[in-house]
């Protein structure tokens, strides 16, 4: 009977937790895990991609267009899946994000997941700071202002969902959606 009560208590406690209530330590461990996995997988993936590129050239030289296209699709799939393995460093760079309400923001993201938001619609202002967090296998920017932005990177395209705060995450429906592209150096 004690075991049943404990199981019920754990079940109820688990249900009361949501994605935004994960302890910081859990997020840190998840991020470290992602980096460790990437450090092992990266050299293997790079060798595989090099072999695929060579195979694509060989098939193209033989005139096997169908085979070369199939290999190119495999290359794209491998590159896209790689972004699911690594941590916040995959977002590093300066991004210009266009939202569905017409607003354009610029975010500067460092390799540790630190975010500085200092420009909106071409107007500069004092920097607003945030941090990329991993919550239940999804990445979010948590700004000091309370805003939360969900991130998804596919290739070179950053999709975002902007929430007014952590309490609105439970709905899963962002107030605004955005599409971003990394700015080139010198801009």
Give domain status of residue 14, yes or no.
no
Give domain status of residue 42, yes or no.
yes
Give domain status of residue 10, yes or no.
no
Q: DSSP 3-state assignment of 148?
A: strand
pTM over 0.85: no
- Which DSSP string do the residues of 68-91 spell out, in sequence order? HHHHHHHHHHHHHHHTTTS-GGGG
* 3-class secondary structure per residue, 3-50: HHHHHHHHHHHHHHCCHHHCCHHHHHHHHHHHHHHHHHHHHHHHHHHH
Give domain status of residue 25, yes or no.
yes
Q: Of 55, 82, 109, which residue sits at a domain end?
A: 82
Q: Of 40, 65, 82, which residue sits at a domain end?
A: 82
pLDDT tens-place string over residues 70-85: 999 998 888 766 655 5
Q: Name the DSSP class of 136.
A: T
Query: Over its length of 187 residues, how does the chain's per-residue pLDDT go in tens digits?
Result: 444 444 444 444 444 444 445 676 776 787 777 777 777 887 898 899 999 999 999 999 999 999 999 999 998 888 766 655 567 888 989 999 999 999 999 999 998 889 999 889 889 888 999 999 877 678 899 998 888 999 998 888 999 999 987 778 778 889 999 999 998 765 4
Other C-beta atoms within 10 Å of 2: how many? 6
Do 30 and 66 lie in one domain? The reply is yes
Those residues whose C-beta lies under 8 Å from the C-beta of residue 43, and which sit 6 or more positions away, are: none
**Crossing angle for the helix pair 65-82 and 24-62, nearest 10 degrees?**
170
Instruction: Give the per-residue pLDDT at 77.
Output: 81
Total of domains in the chain? 2
Give domain status of residue 16, yes or no.
no
Q: Rounded to an integer, what distance in angstroms lies between the CA atom of residue 76 and that of residue 82?
A: 10
Q: Rounded to an integer, what distance in angstroms lies between the CA atom of residue 86 and that of residue 65?
A: 33
Give domain status of residue 3, yes or no.
no
Do 67 and 111 lie in one domain? The reply is no
Say which CATH number the domain at 157 has. Answer: 2.40.128.500
Task: Report CA 40 to chain centroid distance, whole Å.
Answer: 20
Do 174 and 100 lie in one domain? The reply is yes
CA angle 110, 104, 112 (to 5 degrees): 10
Give domain status of residue 37, yes or no.
yes
Q: Which of 155, 126, 129, 151 is nearest to 138 (CA)?
A: 151
Give the structural domain span for 156: 88-182
Do 98 and 70 lie in one domain? The reply is no
Do 70 and 103 lie in one domain? The reply is no
Give domain status of residue 118, yes or no.
yes
């Amino acid at each position: 009977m004690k075991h049943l009560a404990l199981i019920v208590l754990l079940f109820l406690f688990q249900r009361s937790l949501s994605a935004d209530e994960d302890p910081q330590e859990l997020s840190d461990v998840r991020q470290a895990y992602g980096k460790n996995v990437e450090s092992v997988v990266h050299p293997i993936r790079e060798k595989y991609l090099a072999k695929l590129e060579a195979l694509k050239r060989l098939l193209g030289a033989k005139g096997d267009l169908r085979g070369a296209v199939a290999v190119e699709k495999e290359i794209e799939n491998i590159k896209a899946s790689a972004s699911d393995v690594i941590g916040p460093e995959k977002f590093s760079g300066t991004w210009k994000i266009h939202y569905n309400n017409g607003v354009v923001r610029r975010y500067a993201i460092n390799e540790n997941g630190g975010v500085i938001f200092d420009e909106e619609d071409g107007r500069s202002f004092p920097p607003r700071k945030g941090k990329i967090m991993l919550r239940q296998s999804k990445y979010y920017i948590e700004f000091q202002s309370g805003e939360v932005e969900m991130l998804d990177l596919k290739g070179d395209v950053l999709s975002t969902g902007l929430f007014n705060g952590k309490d609105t995450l439970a709905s899963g429906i962002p107030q605004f959606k955005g599409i971003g592209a990394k700015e080139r150096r010198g801009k």
